[in-house]
A and B are shown apart, each in its own frame.
Chain A
Amino acid sequence: MNYIAKQIRGSRSFFCLAGLMTLLILSSIASPDFRTLDNMITILRQASTLLILSTGLTAVIITGGMDLSVGATSAFIGCVCAQFLKIGVPVAAILPIGLLIGAAVGALNGFLVSVVGLPAFVATYATNWVVKGMSIIVMNGAVIFGLPEGFTWFGTGYIGYIPVISVIALIVVVIAYFLLQKTTWGRDIYAYGSNAEAARYSAVNVYKTVFGAFMLCSMSAAVGGLLMTARLNAAEAAMGDAYGLQTVAAVVVGGTSMLGGEGGVSGTVIGAILLTVIVNIMNLLGIPSSAQPMVVGGVIITMVLVDSASRRRDETVSKKSRNLLKTPQKGEVV
């Protein structure tokens, strides 16, 4: 038990969790509308898309990489699938199609990063550009409305009190958590992220690791894109734009280090919910939408500052503990 407590305290998401808790309490005090069940479910629903997109991105950022194409990929897949639905492709076939396109985009990113050797930031930015251009072509510059009900249910339906979209988000998170924490491939992602060279020396299959991370990312973007389309009951080329960097923010605020090798999906869940709650409470309090980015930006900077300061404090603590080392304990080889 003590160990678990220590893990939570020591985990990089601790400050994010503490921040989320504080925010929830403060918001509940500030706005009576906030603490209603309805609003909680709204938050859950709003957070779901962001969460799904950021979950896959977490894997890429743990490798020490970056995927700027998440938003564009999700929009692209949403658009393509909406067109497919329009020409009468059955709803059941849509998910495999979406995942397939996602895997292809991820493979392209993986190729550019691991085979060509481009910095991930640059490669995925280029992909972002291409994919975004392709969605414009697919959409022919227009917006598609009125998708089949069997499809929109995934975005707007409820199971009991719980939105379907949130259930799917949970499934995606659980799958990603399992892959990252319980498989050797997931371990390779961490190993590669904390020290790529050491991973190579330790016989980690670098290509498999990097390709896998990018494909996981783009496939979760596919799921997110489909749900986004289902929720809006419409598809538009620009619908993923806002998510491009917001997802990065959710992951980083959740305690995953941009340097790689640290963090995880659980932190991203907290990060995504935190960002959603902030927007939610600002809307409830009537803060104008033009002022909202400032608050979001401030929160991102603060969270990361606190995180980086706390890590430096940890280092100084270990300096203090040096004094203990003046007299080596018996029987211990120092």
Chain B
Amino acid sequence: MNANVQAVKTPLGPRLRALPPVVWMLVVLALVFSITTPQYFALANLRNILVQSSALMILAFAQTLIVLTQGTDLSLGAQASLVTVLWVSLAKAGINIYLAATLSVCATVIVGMCNGLLVSKGKIPPFIATFGMQNVVSSIALLTTAGSSIYFSHYIFQFVTETRFLFVPLPVWIAALMFALTWLLLYRTKFGVNIFGLGGNPEALVLAGVNTVKSYVKVYAYAGFLAGICGLITACRVESGQPVVGMGWEFEAVAATLLGGTSLREGRGGISGTIAGVLLLTVLRNGLNVSGISAMYQNAIIGVIVMLAIVIDAMVRRVRGD
């Protein structure tokens, strides 16, 4: 109540302390791995980590937006798979490869719109609506390829995976571009304001005259768009259309989102933290691989560390009083 005029520049200490805990965990993890494996900090490995994380990164941005509206989109992984399948099969059918890419991304945007309508108009909990859509979407993907993977070769696949611009491979640049785009949308447009509103106080949006149905549809559609881009990158990496390639990614995206400090309540959070969340998962997986831990143990170790990370995050936030 008293004059709490804030200094424009907060000192570094408190600002460091205000970082989401996941950043610290990421640092600790990187240190641990650099001790266990000498070649960990090699440029090639760092580049590898970035490339490995780029597809999930884009999907996690999509999931973050949905989580900000207090939902979850379980169909994102299936949507990404669908895009790989559609793109490859359309290209195989002789359609121009760029047109095919556009068309298949359009398909996921439509899926997203359906999700949005089910959630807003149908008033179905997002979890169950998108789970239903996940079934439908993965079914379409399976039907398109008759259940198997389809292969196709085109120079663009190699172009995307192998081109480096300023030492950084193209998929990473695409992920960065998507980050910039999502950031702009989230913090510099009405679309973003409405996302925070949907999560924080939908009543206030209605009173301000916002059409919340439209806002939901837009958010889910944009998530569909990002899932589509993720699918395109994935297709380039695997050079094929694989109907189940994205299975479970939606959950990893949720994990990354939550680790990044976005909350399932109140519309708190943002996409910057999500980057750290995704990196944590990738660094972990990559580190276990590089230090030669048997694949058999990796799943359990990652699970335990993710669980610990989530618990630590919750504890730290409680102590801080967020």
CB–CB under 8 A between A and B in the complex? yes
Question: Chain A interface (Cβ within 8 Å of chain B)?
Answer: 66, 112, 116-119, 121-123, 125-134, 136-137, 140-141, 245, 248-249, 252, 258-259, 288-298, 300-301, 304-305, 308-309, 312
Inter-chain CA distance A295–B315, complex, in Å, is 43
Inter-chain CA distance A18–B302, complex, in Å, is 45
Interface residue ranges of B285-316 to A (CB < 8 Å): 296-304, 306-307, 310-311, 314-315
Q: Is the CB of B128 within 8 A of A248?
A: yes
Q: A130-B303, A132-B299, A141-B296 are in contact. Are A122 and B136 (CB under 8 A)?
A: no
Which of B123, B131, B302, B311 meets A245, CB within 8 Å? B131
Contacts of A288 in B (CB 8 A): 143, 147
Contacts of B300 in A (CB 8 A): 130, 132-134, 136-137
Q: A297-B139, A298-B132 are in contact. Are A136 and B124 (CB under 8 A)?
A: no
Main secondary structure of the interface of A (DSSP, over half): helix
Which of A136, A300, A304 meets B296, CB within 8 Å? A136
Q: Is the CB of B129 within 8 A of A133?
A: no
Question: Chain B interface (Cβ within 8 Å of chain A)?
Answer: 72, 74, 118, 122-125, 127-129, 131-136, 138-140, 142-143, 146-147, 243, 251, 254-255, 258, 264-265, 296-304, 306-307, 310-311, 314-315, 318
Q: A137-B297, A141-B296, A248-B128 are in contact. Are A125 and B123 (CB under 8 A)?
A: no
Q: Which 10 A-B pairs have the closest CB atoms?
A: A133-B300, A297-B135, A129-B303, A290-B142, A294-B139, A133-B299, A130-B303, A301-B132, A126-B307, A293-B135
- A-B contacts, 21 of them at CB < 8 A, read A117-B318, A119-B264, A121-B127, A121-B264, A125-B254, A129-B299, A129-B307, A133-B299, A133-B300, A140-B296, A290-B146, A292-B139, A294-B135, A294-B140, A295-B139, A297-B132, A297-B136, A298-B135, A301-B122, A301-B128, A308-B122
9 further A-B pairs in the complex, CB-CB below 8 A; given A136-B300, A297-B133: A129-B302, A133-B299, A136-B296, A249-B128, A258-B125, A290-B139, A290-B142, A297-B132, A309-B122
CB distance from B322 to the nearest CB of A (A): 12
Which of A117, A126, A248 meets B306, CB within 8 Å? A126
Contacts of B138 in A (CB 8 A): 293
Contacts of B124 in A (CB 8 A): 301, 304-305, 308
Q: Is the CB of A290 within 8 A of B132?
A: no
Q: A116-B311, A130-B307, A293-B138 are in contact. Are A66 and B131 (CB under 8 A)?
A: no
Inter-chain CA distance A312–B123, complex, in Å, is 10
Contacts of A134 in B (CB 8 A): 300
CB distance from B250 to the nearest CB of A (A): 11
Contacts of A304 in B (CB 8 A): 122, 124-125, 128-129, 132
Contacts of A258 in B (CB 8 A): 125, 127-128
Inter-chain CA distance A300–B264, complex, in Å, is 24
Contacts of B307 in A (CB 8 A): 112, 126-127, 129-130
Contacts of B133 in A (CB 8 A): 297, 301
CB distance from B282 to the nearest CB of A (A): 15
Contacts of A141 in B (CB 8 A): 296
Inter-chain CA distance A293–B118, complex, in Å, is 18
